[in-house]
């Protein structure tokens, strides 16, 4: 049974028995008006909080202690050109955005989340500019920021005395242009970490995900199958994603959307389906700038920095006036001119985009084929790996993103002299040159944040995640025929680690005759809740990282890196490359076998416990998380998180910038073109309202791997 929650002359909205809203309209304008109404009805708090963050107004509206958060977002300067960017939109795109904005404001005019009213905030109307701003914030903080932070971590390693030979072992072939003496002279005004530990404290909640698509000749139905499970934070409420069904008399779409954005981000229509993972393509670079008297050196001349003054209001306190310094084409200077002769400036390729992405997302509504979908998705300015399938049986893969063209031989990982124009970006790569493939001979395509450069004319990925997840999924798909949706679900829940298998093959001769050693020796390499082998292996792996990297980076630094940052979470492929090498400068003259033996002897002296015993995470409310008694019901759980860093069902828990965070399947979807719609489960529920029955309604099904079917009401 469905219940009508809104109806007017353009659109009607009905909530189904699982809480998902269906938007019905006679045309596209009604669809986007309805999407705005649905978002504001169920996720107004999430939308408004996201906008407060993006505009750098947390200290003003929420808590004066959040001034550092505001300074971070003000420094990005994403709001300065919003009107200019939206002025370039086509009339059709603007009409659709206007319809969405009208829908949002219709709801906000009637009701504002009580949590914000208690704080004294009366929100301004939602605008088209807000849509672009939120898209920029999500594109950087959730995705691209990690690449810039990795570059900064390399600089911090140089400052700490890590030699070029050691860095080359971590980043082989990626260090062209490295000038250690110049980097040592560069002042890091914005250090990412406490000086005491000198490593990276990531602020990002990176999207690391799986998606794959299977051609009909390999499926039971004879039609393509597509699966996607974005790995994001699951220890937060509300859920990141918002599901919706939209229908006109001729067309329908089932979609996972992000509230505040007017687009069908992951979707299935009558004709086309697409799912996304993050690509790890590098669209963020830093340059070493030589600064003097408010100017930066360009070739042999001095060019003035642009001074930008921002006023950060603070609740109950005097406003704070801060000055940022923008370069001509290298982004924002780390500090002020007086902070040092050599400083970093950083630029993200998507910082001032948005219009092109909006046009591309709208075009997908009427796309019929994989080739059309690839063309439109390739125009998105944030970099994703998209897999696609169509109703005619086609499958494909397309990387998106505004990827800089760099001088040949440069990877983008190393900050280079800003005064040498040869180090400037030389435009952006065409989407047709990015990694892509259509209807491969294998009959399937898998992406899992791994290295896909071989599929492109150019190679935009310089620091991918390890290929363990992609290899495991490909193995499972490649050894079976007549695949169906149930097979896709089993793969999404697979907790087998090819990483652990590889390490144990080397370590097996050195496993001690202890309970720990026997648990690893008898282990099936699965990270299920009962596995004692997984728990013992993780202690061995941590000790191995400590013994190899600690003597160079420092033991405290490595401890912090393992427990408090996302560096190993995001870029563990680079560290595994060293650990699995037969010889490495990081081994301090020892062989790999000697290092493995030492780690096994030191770590495997006790008795393991089941993996799930230490894997409980609480889902915290985005505003009141941890601030109210658990009985109040804003925080839920704990939930036992199975899986590991390298399993298809990824399950990572670590602390980032002082807070607990996770990588896990925030959403799971599977679609078979033999039937309309898709099957899905969400880590949370449709609503951000604590007292709604839909606040946490899907979590039990998510835990137990149960999926619901959603699709069009009309045939």
pLDDT in tens, 102-150: 999 999 999 999 999 999 999 999 999 999 999 988 888 766 677 777 8
Cβ 566 vs Cβ 192: under 8 Å: no
Instruction: Give the pLDDT confidence score for residue 193 in this predicted structure.
Output: 32
The answer to whether position 30 is within a domain reads no
Task: Give the residue-averaged pLDDT of 303-314.
Answer: 95
Of the candidate ranges 53-67, 448-462, 559-573, the one whose mean pLDDT is the lowest: 559-573
CB atoms within 10 A of CB 654: 19
Say whether pLDDT at 325 is over 80. Answer: yes
Supply the pLDDT for residue 656.
Answer: 64
**In contact, 585 and 194? CB cutoff 8 Å:** no
Sheet of 236-237, strand order: 236-237, 616-621, 636-640
Instruction: Note whether residue 539 is domain-resident.
Output: yes
Alpha-carbon span 240 to 477, nearest angstrom: 29
Whether this prediction's pTM lies above 0.85 is answered by yes
More confident residue, 72 or 577: 577
Question: Hey, which residues does 307 pair with through a beta bridge?
Answer: 325
Name the percent of the chain in helix, strand, coil, to the closest 5. Answer: 35, 25, 40
Residue where the block lists tokens 């505003």: 623
Label residues 312-322 b or e (16+ Cβ within 10 Å = b): bbbbeeeeeeb
Position 194 pLDDT exceeds 60: no
Q: How much is the pLDDT for 571? A: 87
Residues 167-181 have a mean pLDDT of 94
Q: How far, CA to CA in Å, does 300 sit from each of 328, 331, 420, 421?
A: 15, 20, 9, 11
Q: What is the mean pLDDT of residues 203-213?
A: 71
Say how far apart CA 133 and CA 131 lie, in whole Å: 6
Residue-wise pLDDT tens digits, 585-629: 999 999 999 999 999 999 999 999 999 998 999 999 988 888 888
Q: Residue 561: pLDDT above 90?
A: no
What is the predicted pLDDT for the residue at 653? 84
Quote the mean pLDDT of the chain: 92
Domain assignment of residue 95, yes or no: no
The answer to whether residue 569 sits within a structural domain is yes
pLDDT score, position 203: 34
Position 2 confidence tier, pLDDT thresholds 50, 70, 90: confident
| 461 Cβ contact partners less than 8 Å away, ≥ 6 residues apart | 279, 280, 281, 282, 435, 451, 452, 453
Do the domain assignments include residue 584? yes
Task: Give the best-scoring range by mean pLDDT among 415-419, 460-464, 662-666.
Answer: 415-419
CB 96 within 8 A of CB 29: yes
Q: How far apart are CA 675 and CA 672, in angstroms?
A: 6
- CA-nearest of 660, 661, 623, 648 to 705 is 648
Render pLDDT for 278-308 as a digit per residue (tens, 0 to 9). Answer: 999 999 999 999 999 999 999 999 999 999 9
The number of distinct structural domains making up the chain is 1
Provide the token pair at 686.
Answer: 């449709």
C-alpha dist (Å) from residue 146 to 569, 605, 651? 11, 36, 19
Q: Phi first, then psi: what are they for 442, rounded to 5°?
A: -65, -25
Whether the per-residue pLDDT at 630 is higher than 70: the answer is yes
Residues pairing with 380 in the sheet: none
In the block, tokens 């340059």 appear at: 287
User: What's 587's domain CATH number?
Assistant: 1.10.1400.10
- CA–CA dist 493, 262 (Å, integer): 31
Residue 191: per-residue pLDDT: 46
pLDDT of residue 201: 29
User: What would the pLDDT profile of 681-705 be if each residue is shown by its tens digit?
Assistant: 999 999 999 999 999 999 999 999 9
Q: How far is CA 601 from the centre of its chain?
A: 37
State residue 80's pLDDT score.
Answer: 84
pLDDT at residue 40, as a whole number: 98
What's the token pair of residue 270? 């009558």
State both tokens at 252. Answer: 């329908």
pLDDT for the residue numbered 443: 97
User: Are 165 and 588 within 8 A, CB to CB?
Assistant: no
The arithmetic mean of pLDDT across residues 369-373, rounded, is 98
- CA–CA separation, 647 vs 641, rounded Å? 12
* Average pLDDT value for residue range 669-677: 97
| 235 backbone dihedrals φ, ψ, rounded to 5° | -90, 45
Look at residues 453, 1, 486 and name the one whose alpha carbon lies nearest to residue 225.
Answer: 486
Quick one: 382 exposed, middle or buried, by C-beta within 10 A (0-12, 13-18, 19+)? Answer: buried
SS in 3 state form for 561-615?
A: HHHHCCHHHHHHHHHHHHHCCCCCHHHCCCCHHHHHHHHHHHHCCCCCCCHHHHC
In this predicted structure, the answer to whether residue 483 has a pLDDT above a threshold of 70 is: yes
Range of the domain at 507: 498-613
Closest to 144 measured CA to CA, from 336, 355, 338, 403 = 403
- Residue 150's pLDDT is what? 84
* Size of the chain, expressed as the number of residues it contains: 715
pLDDT computed for residue 574 by the predictor: 94
Distance CA 383, CA 161 (A): 33
Q: Is residue 410 part of a domain?
A: no
Q: Report yes or no on 538 lying in a domain.
A: yes
DSSP string, 391-449: TTS-EEEEE---PBP--TT--S-S-EETT-GGGS---B--GGGSSEEES-TTSEEEESS
Cα–Cα separations (whole angstroms), residue 163 to 181, 342, 485, 554, 585: 11, 21, 50, 14, 10
Taking alpha carbons only, the member of 510, 535, 540 closest to residue 523 is 535
606, 613, 615, 663 from 530: Cα distances, Å: 17, 8, 11, 20
Which one of 66-80, 256-270, 346-360 scores highest in mean pLDDT? 256-270
Dihedral-angle region of residue 37 (phi above 0 means left; psi in -120 to 50 means alpha; beta otherwise)? alpha
Q: Does 198 have pLDDT greater than 50? A: no
Dihedral (Cα; 560, 561, 563, 565), 10-degree rounding: 110
Which residues, 6+ apart, have CB-to-CB distance to 109 below 8 Å?
A: none
pLDDT tier at 565, thresholds 50, 70, 90? low
Residue 669 has pLDDT above 70, yes or no: yes
């Amino acid at each position: 049974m469905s219940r009508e929650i809104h109806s007017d002359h353009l659109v009607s909205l009905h909530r189904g028995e699982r809480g998902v809203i269906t938007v019905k309209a006679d045309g596209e304008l009604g669809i986007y008006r309805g999407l705005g109404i649905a978002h504001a009805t169920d996720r107004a708090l999430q939308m408004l909080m996201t906008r407060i963050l993006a505009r750098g107004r947390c200290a003003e509206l929420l808590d004066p202690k959040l001034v550092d958060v505001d300074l971070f977002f003000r420094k990005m300067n994403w709001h300065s050109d919003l009107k200019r960017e939206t002025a370039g939109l086509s009339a059709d795109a603007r009409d659709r955005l206007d319809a969405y904005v009208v829908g949002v404001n219709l709801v906000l005019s009637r009701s504002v989340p009580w949590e914000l009213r208690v704080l004294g905030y009366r929100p301004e109307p939602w605008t088209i500019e807000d849509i672009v701003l939120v898209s920029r914030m999500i594109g950087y903080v959730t995705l691209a920021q990690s690449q810039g932070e990795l570059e900064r971590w390399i600089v911090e390693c140089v400052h700490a005395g890590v030699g070029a030979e050691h860095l080359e072992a971590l980043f082989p072939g990626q260090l062209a242009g490295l000038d250690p003496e110049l980097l040592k002279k560069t002042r890091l005004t914005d250090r990412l970490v406490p000086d005491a530990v000198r490593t990276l404290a990531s602020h990002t909640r990176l999207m690391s995900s799986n998606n794959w698509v299977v051609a009909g000749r390999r499926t039971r139905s004879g039609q393509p199958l597509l699966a996607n499970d974005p790995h994001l934070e699951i220890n937060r409420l509300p859920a990141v994603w918002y599901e919706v069904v939209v229908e006109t008399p001729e067309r329908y779409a089932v979609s996972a959307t992000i509230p505040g954005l007017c687009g069908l981000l992951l979707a299935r229509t009558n004709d086309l389906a697409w799912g996304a993972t993050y690509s790890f393509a590098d669209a963020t670079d830093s340059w070493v700038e030589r600064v003097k008297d408010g100017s930066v050196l360009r070739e042999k001349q001095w060019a003035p920095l642009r001074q930008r003054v921002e006023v950060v209001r603070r609740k109950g306190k005097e406003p704070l006036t801060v000055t940022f310094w923008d370069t001509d084409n290298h982004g924002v200077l780390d500090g002020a001119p007086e902070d040092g002769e050599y400083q970093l400036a950083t630029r993200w390729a998507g910082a001032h985009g948005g219009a092109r992405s909006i046009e591309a997302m709208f075009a997908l509504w009427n796309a019929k084929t994989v080739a059309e979908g690839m063309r439109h998705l390739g125009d998105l300015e944030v970099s994703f790996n998209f897999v696609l399938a169509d109703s005619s049986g086609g499958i494909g893969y397309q990387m998106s993103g505004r990827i800089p063209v760099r001088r040949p031989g440069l990877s983008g990982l190393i900050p280079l002299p800003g005064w040498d124009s040869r180090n400037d970006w030389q435009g952006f790569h065409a989407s047709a040159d990015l990694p892509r493939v259509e209807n491969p001979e294998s009959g399937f395509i898998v992406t899992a944040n791994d290295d896909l450069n071989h599929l492109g004319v150019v190679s935009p990925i310089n620091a991918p995640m390890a290929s363990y997840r992609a290899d495991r999924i490909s193995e499972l798909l490649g050894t079976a025929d007549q695949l169906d949706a149930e097979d896709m679900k089993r793969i999404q829940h697979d907790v087998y680690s090819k990483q652990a298998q590889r390490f144990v093959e080397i370590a097996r001769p050195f496993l001690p005759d202890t309970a720990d050693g026997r648990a690893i020796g008898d282990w099936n390499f699965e990270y299920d809740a009962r596995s004692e082998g997984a728990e013992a292996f993780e202690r061995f792996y941590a000790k191995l990282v400590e013994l190899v990297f600690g003597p160079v980076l420092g033991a405290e630094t490595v401890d912090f890196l393992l427990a408090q940052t996302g560096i190993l979470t995001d870029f563990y492929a680079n560290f595994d490359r060293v650990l699995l090498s037969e010889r490495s400068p990081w081994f301090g003259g020892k062989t790999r076998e000697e290092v493995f033996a030492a780690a096994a002897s030191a770590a495997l002296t006790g008795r393991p416990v089941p993996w799930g015993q230490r894997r409980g995470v609480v889902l915290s409310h985005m505003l009141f998380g941890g601030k109210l008694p658990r009985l109040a019901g804003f925080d839920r759980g704990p939930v036992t998180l199975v899986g590991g860093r390298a399993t298809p069902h990824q399950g990572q828990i670590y602390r980032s910038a002082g807070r607990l965070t996770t990588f896990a399947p925030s959403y799971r979807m599977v679609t078979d073109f033999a039937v309309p719609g898709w099957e899905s489960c969400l880590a949370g529920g449709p609503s951000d309202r604590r007292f709604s029955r839909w606040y946490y309604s899907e979590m039990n099904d998510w835990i137990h791997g149960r999926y619901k079917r959603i699709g069009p009401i009309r045939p």
